[in-house]
Every structure is written in structure tokens, then in C-alpha cells.
Amino acid sequence: MQQVANKTEQRRYAALKTVEVHSDQEAGQLEKTVDKLRTERQHLIFRMGDKMHRELRLQRVINPDFAEYSEAILDIDKKIYKLGKEQAMRLEAEQTSCQQCGSKILNGSKFCGSCGTPVQQLKKTIEETRDCRYCAETVPASAQFCPCCGSTRE
């Protein structure tokens, strides 16, 4: 009779283990589902905020509650834009290679120091500019959107 009791206990223990495994698996699956939904929620909030920022920037929505955030974002946009312009100027000023011999040529040189080939100078066109009505950055007059803040011309 002792053996029957032991076998019954073993079956109960095995059944409980199976339930625990299923419960652990279900709990893990629930946790994954919750994490997935939280991530989806974060993406939606981000996209909603991005759309709202765009509407505020284009002055389609005026809400004083968001003014502080809009100004902070505009300041960051200006810094990014100015740093990008600085980076482009540095790249422009870096050495280039001679088209004839491949030697390095400093920007502004008229001739290659290795082979004497004339260096083609890029002519910079002077374009009329205006100030952006939203961020006050100087932009080409022909631009439909400000390259700094993205606001429309009109």
C-alpha cells in the first residue's frame, strides 16, 4: 500500500510540475505581450508628439501649454543646423585629390604641387537670402521650407 501511495504522490507531483511549467510559460508569454504593447504605445506617443510638434511649428495649432517645449526643440534644431553647416564647411576645406595624378591638394590651391595640373576651382554662386519667419535662420530666398526648422515659406 505504501507503493501505491508513493506512485499517487509521484503522479500528483508530476501533474503539479506540468501546471507550474505551463504557468511559467504563460507568465512569460504574458510578459512578452505586455512588453510588446508598451513598445507599441511608446511608438504611437512618439509619432503623436512628432505630429503635434510639426503642427505647432507650422503654426496650424497654437497652444501656450506647448510653447516651452516648442522653444526648446527649436533651440536644439538651430544647434543641429549650425553644427551641420560647420561640418559641411570643414569637409569642403579638407584636402582633395588631383584628378591627374591623385596627389593631395589643399583647398584653395590653383595648381597641383606634384604634377602642376591646374586645379578646377568651383565657383560659388551667390543666392539671395531671407530670414525664416519662425527660427530667424538665413535661408535661400528660393527655398520653400526652412532647412533649419522645416517651417514653410509663407
Query: For position 9, what pLDDT does the model report?
Result: 73
All cell numbers assigned to 36: 510588446
User: Residue 94 above 70 pLDDT?
Assistant: no
Q: pLDDT band at residue 143, thresholds of 50, 70 and 90?
A: confident
| Kind plus residue range of the DSSP H or E element containing 96 | strand 96-97
Of 73 and 4, more confident: 73
CB 154 within 8 A of CB 133: no
Query: For position 118, what pLDDT does the model report?
Result: 85
CB-based burial label for 150 (10 Å; 0-12, 13-18, 19+): middle
DSSP for 1-16 reads -HHHHHHHHHHHHHHH
User: Residue 39 above 80 pLDDT?
Assistant: yes
Partners of 129 in beta bridges: 140
| Reported pTM | 0.54
Of 144 and 6, more confident: 144
Q: pLDDT band at residue 34, thresholds of 50, 70 and 90?
A: very high
